[in-house]
Amino acid sequence: MARSFVAASIGAMRLLTIALAGVLVACSATGVGPAGVDGTKTDQPSAAATEQPATTELPAPTPTPSATAMTSSIPRWDELPVAANDAVGLSQQLVMVETALHDPNVTGPELAWMGHLQQLAYSRLQDFPEWKDTVLAALPEQTRAAVNGSLEAGKQLRMLSGPVPKTLPDWKIVAPAPIDDLISYYKEAESEFGVSWYYLASIHLVETRMGRIRGTSTAGAQGPMQFLPSTWARWGGGGDINDPHDAILAAGRYLQASGAPGDLHKALFAYNHSEHYVRAVTLYATQIEANPRAYLAYHAWQVYYITPRGDLWLEEGYGS
């Protein structure tokens, strides 16, 4: 396993429905999402759910780096971001992230760093809900709405979580496809099937953190958009279940057949039989619709895995 990092107080993000179902952290904290397309389990995480057999014993927690004064000086891009330990500091960090998202000069590793910091800041707010009102009051109106929406989406995803696993998952964590490539796939599916690209992006985020997680759910769902093989045989269009382009188009095809775009709620519920899932996907999609550059931060969100000994960051290269 690649270097693991136990994020301080990230317990609040209990979900990786992104295919973790109880594992992607950051307002959605955990990894592989709910039961997968056409899954039979209601209110269950999709790809690699928490009950999935794992092959790696849990390591001892790694000390968390002490926070640096990121809000008063230029961030250290070569160091891991650390969420502030107080409400004022968190509000400053969230404003900094929002400002960076609107700055076309912030790209590459710096943009990814900002997205990771946003994820950790949201997680810290989940850990300390008593700070929420203070943080939100200090934010500009647009930033406040975005933070509120993502926090509520994470809350919905955490309601999908199963029991805390005792071993690490049998997954591989890989680099996601580039932002421009993925957006082109979402928009191709939107053009062909009428499903707004921000909903496809939201599903991708919730199911596998934009394809970072390669694993099979307890229900047998596979690939970046978490399809059951039987469903893929009908809606995959003859493509590769693990190819992001083919999987995103298949998701658009399936959602259209399930009622989208006319009845998105029905279509999303068909994708995963859970109202919590539908609400979470809708909330993330709403943030991207309101500000398409919000996708840039979501694309950088990492995979965190909940364990009895703390939440572990599963870095790129894990499982290789």
pLDDT given for residue 37 in this prediction: 67
Only one residue has tokens 């999987």, namely 247
Q: Please tell me the predicted confidence (pLDDT) of residue 33.
A: 52
With a cut of 70, say whether residue 145 has pLDDT above it. yes
- Check residue 74 and give its pLDDT: 66
Note the pLDDT tens digit of each residue in 287-319. Answer: 999 999 999 999 999 999 988 887 899 999 999
Beta carbons within 10 angstroms of residue 180's beta carbon: 8
Query: Taking the CA of residue 202 as centre, how many other CA atoms within 13 Å lie in the half-sphere pointing to its CB?
Result: 27
Going by pLDDT thresholds of 50, 70 and 90, the confidence category of residue 162 is confident
pLDDT band at 167 (very low <50, low <70, confident <90, very high): confident
* Element (DSSP H or E) covering residue 173: strand 172-173
Range of the domain at 201: 1-320
Chain mean position to CA 37: 17
| Domains identified in the chain, total number | 1
Q: What is the pLDDT of residues 23-51, one digit of tens each?
A: 443 333 334 454 466 543 334 444 433 33
Dig out the tokens for 303 from the structure: 């995979």
pLDDT score of 38: 56
Token reading at 34:
């709910």
Q: What is the residue whose two structure tokens read 């693990």?
A: 242
Confidence grade of residue 22 (pLDDT, cut at 50, 70, 90) = very low
- Per-residue buried b or exposed e for 304-320, using 16+ beta carbons within 10 Å of the residue's own CB: bbbbeebbbbbeeebbe
pLDDT digits (tens, 9 = 90+) for 224-260: 999 999 999 999 999 999 999 999 999 999 999 999 9
**Residue 136 identity (one-letter amino acid):** L
For the cut 90, the answer to whether the pLDDT of residue 67 exceeds it is no
* Residue 270 identity (one-letter amino acid): A
Mean pLDDT of all residues in 180-184: 98
Q: Which of 59-73, 100-114, 172-186 is the most confident on average?
A: 172-186
pLDDT in tens, 204-222: 999 999 999 999 887 899 9
3: pLDDT strictly greater than 70: no
Which has the closest alpha carbon to 29: 105, 98, 124?
A: 124
Question: pLDDT for 79-117, tens place per residue?
Answer: 999 999 999 999 999 999 999 999 999 999 999 999 999
The tokens of 8 are what?
A: 């301080």
Residue 50 CA to residue 73 CA, distance in Å, equals 39
Closest by CA to 302, choosing from 117, 116, 62, 67, is 116
pLDDT of residue 311: 84
pTM (predicted TM-score): 0.82
| Residue 286 CB contacts under 8 Å (≥ 6 apart), including other chains | 149, 198
**150-154, 169-173, 216-220: segment of lowest average pLDDT:** 216-220
Other Cβ atoms less than 10 A from the Cβ of 253: the count is 18
